[in-house]
Amino acid sequence: MRRRSWVATGLMIACGVASAAPAEDAALAHARRILQQSILIDGHNDLPWALRSNKQAHGDLAAYDLRRTTAGQTDLARLREGRVGAQFWSVYIPSELAGGFARTQLEQIDLARRMIARYPESLQFASTVDDVRAAHRAGRIASMLGIEGGHAIENSLGALRAYHDLGVRYMTLTHNSHNDWADSATDQPVRHHGLTAFGENVVREMNRLGMLVDLSHTSPETMHDALRVSRAPVIFSHSAARALCAVPRNVPDDVLRELPKNGGVVMVTFVAPFINQEVARMTAPLMAGLIEKARAAKNEEEVERLYKDAFANLRLPTTTIGMVADHIEHIRTVAGVRHIGIGSDFDGNDDWPVGLTNVADFPNLFAELIRRGWSDEDLRLLAGENVLGALQRAEAVAASMRGEPATKLPVFVPLPECASMPSDVPFSREGIFGDTDQPNSLRPDERGSGWRSLFDGRSMRGWRGYDSKQVPPAWRVEAGALTLAKLQPDQSRQGRADLITDVAFENFELRLQWKVAPGANSGLFFFVREGAADRIWKTAPELQILDDAHHEDGALPSHRSGGLYDLYPPACNAVRPVGEYNDARVAVNGSHVEHWLNGYLVTSYELDSTEFRDRLEQSKFRGEPTFAKVRRGSIGLQDHGDAVSFRSIRIRELPPAGGR
C-alpha cells in the first residue's frame, strides 16, 4: 500500500525489540515443510500498482514479466520459493488525488485480472474458500482481489456491488485520507468520529455481498463502529500491534480484545515503520504535511515522486524478523491464536526487516516462530486457516442474507463545505451571541435592537407542550440549557411532547444555539398552529437539527442540518462536530425565509412561490392541508426521542414585509 502509508502521528511508545536467533537449518526446513502442507495466505501485495507505476512497464504485462526476476519484491519463482499458497492482490489506488477514483479502480482490477490470466500454470483466480482450496490442490497460487480504500466506490453502493461482481473480496474502508463516510487513522482533524450512517450501510452491504470488511488504515473509532455493525468477521489486511509500535496505522489492544467476539483476523505486516518504533520515530516527521502536498498533486506520477523524494536520503536502523514475531505473539496473547494472519505489504514499501525482504522469505518468519516453540497446528492457523475461516463465515453470513434486498441509499451525495464556497456566498464573521460564558444573557446593544430572550437559562417560563397547558416532564433545564434526554427502548412516550412558546410570532428573526448527542435528531419549528393536526410537523416548517454523520437521515441532502426538512437541502455543510453547540438563525419576513447555520446562509425560499408548491407536492407533506399555510404561530422544539439541548434562544420582531 505504498510508502505513504507510513503516516505516524501522536504518542509513541517503545516497540518490542527482540533479536532473531541465528538461522537454524532444522527450523527453516521444518518451516518449509509446514508451509508446503498448509495454505499460506498473504493478505496484501501491491504488485498491480507496481506494474502500473513502473517507469519501464507502465502497466505493460509483457514488459514486467513475472516469469523473470523483477525489480520489485514479487515474481513467480520467488512466490514458489516462499511457499505462497494464496495471495490477496491489492488493487490499490491513491486517495490523495482529486477524483476519478472509480475509473482508476476499474483499470487496476482489469490489470490484476489480466495479470492472473497471463500465468495460468502458476496463478488461478479465486473468489471463494472453495476456489482457494481447489487452486491449492491443483498446485497453483489462488489469486484474490482486495480494494484499498472506500474512496474507490465514490459514495455509491452500486459501485461496491459492481466491484464484488468483478471478484473483489475485501475492501479497506479508508486509505490515508478520510472519505465522506469513514475516518482514516492518518488524517486530521477527525471528521466523522467513526462511521457515518452511510458508512454503516456500506458495512451492511459488504456483509450481504460476502465481501470482507478490512480495517487497516482506519481510525479506532471507525474500527469500533465496524465491529459493532458487521455481522461477519472483519480483517486487518496489513497492520501490526499499536502496543509495540505506537503509530496510528496499528491496532490498539482494546480493538484486539473485541476480535474473538467478531471472529476477525489481524494480518501482520512487515513494513519497518509499523514494526520498529525507532524507524517510526524517524519517518513520522518526514510524513508531516506530505498528505496535503499529495492532495495538491496534479497526477499519480507527482504523488509518487513526492513520497520518493521525501525518503530518498534516509538511513534507517535495522528491523529484525524477531520484531515481526513479537507483534504476532502480542496479538496472539491479546486476541488469541485464531485471530492472526500474515499481510506483508510487499511491493508497497521499500524498507523491510533483514531476512524478510521479498515473497521468497516467508519461511524465515515461520522458522523464527518454530524456534520460539510454536506448534504445527498454530503455525497452520497463522499461515492461512484463520483467514479462510473468516472468509468462510463471511460467505455464510452472505448466504443467510440472500433474501434481503440490496441496501437502500445507493448513492450518498456529499455537500461542499461552506468554508470552501466562493467568496460571494453570504457569510457573517461576527459572533451571534457575544460572550458564550453567559449564553442566555442579552447585551445592552441587543436589547436596544429589539431582541428579547425566550429562555433565561433557569426556568421554562413561557414554554409548554404542543396541544397542552403543561411543560412535558421529559424536558429539563440543565447546565443553562433546555435539555431533552434520549428515550430508552423500554420507555413509553408518556410525558414526552414537542415544546412550544406561549407567544405566537409573525415577522421575526430568531437565534439560538443547539447541540445533539451522537446519532440524534431534532428540529426547530416556526409558525406552529395548535389544533390543526395531531402532529406539529404536519403544520409547521422545520429547520432540521441532526447529527448528519451518524443518523440515517444524514444520507439524504434534504434531511441534513440547516435545511428545510424534506423540502430544501442546505447549500453547503456548516454543521459543527457532534457534541458542540451550533449557532442557528431563522429570519422570516412575509413569504421570504432564510436559514443560517454557524454564520452561513444555507437555505432560503419563498413560501408563496411556485417552486415551494412544486417541492411540497414531492415531499412527505403532500396532502397535508395546513402545512405552511399560516404566517403567525409559536416557535417549537422537537422531541424526536433523542438527546438534544437548546440555549441562547432569543427573538426580535421585524417590520412587515419589505425589508429583510
Residue whose C-alpha cell is 433557569 = 458
Could you state, in order of their start, the residue ranges of all structural domains in the chain? 21-400, 418-653
Catalytic annotation, pick one of 30, 42, 44, 224: 44
With a cut of 70, say whether residue 56 has pLDDT above it.
yes
Catalytic annotation, pick one of 30, 42, 46, 200: 46
**How many angstroms separate the CA atoms of 649 and 653, rounded?**
14
Tell me the mean pLDDT in the region 455-465. Answer: 95
Does the active-site annotation cover 131?
no
The pLDDT, as a whole number, for residue 437 is 62
Report the candidate in 337, 379, 352 with the shortest Cα–Cα distance to residue 40.
379
**How many angstroms separate the CA atoms of 347 and 345, rounded?**
6
Tell me the mean pLDDT in the region 459-475. Answer: 93
pLDDT grade for 578, boundaries at 50, 70 and 90: confident
Supply 234's cell numbers: 472483519
**How many angstroms separate the CA atoms of 638 and 545, rounded?**
9
The pLDDT, as a whole number, for residue 20 is 46
Least-confidence region, from 14-28, 104-118, 359-373, 402-416: 14-28
Catalytic annotation, pick one of 180, 183, 304, 345: 345
Catalytic annotation, pick one of 175, 178, 224, 640: 175
**How many angstroms separate the CA atoms of 332 and 381, rounded?**
11
pLDDT tens-place string over residues 182-239: 999 999 888 888 998 889 999 999 999 999 999 999 999 999 999 999 999 999 999 9
**How many angstroms separate the CA atoms of 130 and 361, rounded?**
27
Query: Who wins on pLDDT, 515 or 551?
Result: 515
Catalytic annotation, pick one of 30, 192, 193, 217: 217
Does the active-site annotation cover 361?
no
Does the active-site annotation cover 44?
yes
DSSP code for 141: E
Does the active-site annotation cover 178?
no
Contact between 512 and 638 under an 8 Å Cβ cutoff? The reply is no
Does the active-site annotation cover 238?
yes
pLDDT grade for 618, boundaries at 50, 70 and 90: very high
Mean pLDDT of all residues belonging to the chain? 89
pLDDT grade for 428, boundaries at 50, 70 and 90: very low
Task: Show the beta-strand stretches assigned E in 129-207.
Answer: 141-148, 168-172
pLDDT tens-place string over residues 84-116: 999 999 999 998 877 789 999 999 999 999 999
Q: What percent of the chain shows pLDDT beyond 70? A: 89
- Homologous superfamily of 418-653 in CATH? Exo-inulinase; domain 1 (2.60.120.560)
346: β partners: 45
Could you say which architecture CATH assigns to the domain 21-400?
Answer: Alpha-Beta Barrel (3.20)
Tell me the mean pLDDT in the region 601-622. Answer: 94
The pLDDT, as a whole number, for residue 303 is 72
pLDDT tens-place string over residues 113-170: 999 999 999 999 999 999 999 999 999 999 999 999 999 999 999 999 999 999 999 9
The pLDDT, as a whole number, for residue 535 is 84
pLDDT tens-place string over residues 241-295: 999 999 999 999 999 999 999 999 999 999 999 999 999 998 877 766 676 677 6
The secondary structure of the chain in percent helix, strand, coil, rounded to multiples of 5, reads: 35, 20, 45
Catalytic annotation, pick one of 42, 148, 200, 509: 148
The separation between the first and the last C-alpha atoms of the chain, rounded to the nearest angstrom, is 55
**How many angstroms separate the CA atoms of 172 and 178, rounded?**
12
171: β partners: 147, 213
Catalytic annotation, pick one of 164, 238, 551, 559: 238
For every residue of 435-499, DSSP letters joined together read -TTSTTPPPHHHHHTT-EES--SS--TTEEETT-SS--TTEEEETTEEEEPPPPTT--STT---E
Tell me the mean pLDDT in the region 381-391. Answer: 98
With a cut of 90, say whether residue 396 has pLDDT above it.
yes
pLDDT tens-place string over residues 301-358: 777 777 777 777 778 899 999 999 999 999 999 999 999 999 999 999 989 999 999 9
pLDDT tens-place string over residues 635-647: 999 999 999 999 9
Does the active-site annotation cover 75?
no
CA dist 4 → 287, 311, 373 (Å): 8, 10, 36
**How many angstroms separate the CA atoms of 31 and 38, rounded?**
10
3-state secondary structure of 146: strand
Does the active-site annotation cover 175?
yes
Contact between 432 and 574 under an 8 Å Cβ cutoff? The reply is no
